[in-house]
Amino acid sequence: MLRLNIEFKDGKKFDNLIRYIESNLIYSELQEEAVNLADNTVNHMRDTISSSKKRHSLGNNLEKTIDKEILNTTGNIDIGIGNINKLKTDAPYYEVLDAGGYIPYSTAKGAPLGSFEGDRPDSSSVGGAQNWERSGDKGYFMKPKKPIEGLDYINKAIRNLDKELKITMKKLGSKFISDMGKPHGWGMGAGGAK
């Protein structure tokens, strides 16, 4: 919980504060900054994943699946990043790529992720000297010899968000304090001289 205590010895400054808060302009600035921070966080995750890829030719499904979603704008703003249901459907390996481990079986298709239809794939072109197993009529799938090394893209993005949030709050706090002493609307684009 964030607690802010402000003491005013000057009634005029207090009145300006109340008018400033009631003008609702600070809320729209905060909402705009929250959306910008969410966009930066999504881009940070995507960049971390993309820069760590070993085989770019295999697509960017996970990067496309990670996105922001504005959940609520009434009274406050709630933004979600990475819809879990969408990730489970479109990129079910998202957790393994983040934390490391083995690729889980695909429950949607009834075959393991990484399965191939038809003949056994050429190991030199898709995964090197890995173990391949037949999956009934689903083709072959690769059974890796070693686990995937996690990218920690979620925690890296959270640490970056925390850093950006501190900078943003400092910037907005300074603006809030400097605008409090000005007549209503000054410096906020609502009219008046700057």
Looking at residue 87, what is its pLDDT? 93
Other CB atoms within 10 Å distance of the CB of residue 65: 17
Tokens of 83: 């819809």
Going by pLDDT thresholds of 50, 70 and 90, the confidence category of residue 187 is very low
Bigger pLDDT: 176 or 80? Answer: 80
DSSP 8-state symbol, 188: T
Q: Model pTM? A: 0.67
3-state secondary structure 46-83: HHHHHHHCCCHHHCCHHHHHCCEEEEECCCCCEEEECC
Using alpha carbons, select from 71, 69, 65 the residue that is nearest to residue 46: 65
Report the distance separating Cα 157 and Cα 177, nearest Å: 30
Spatial CB neighbours of 13, under 8 Å, sequence gap ≥ 6: 180, 181
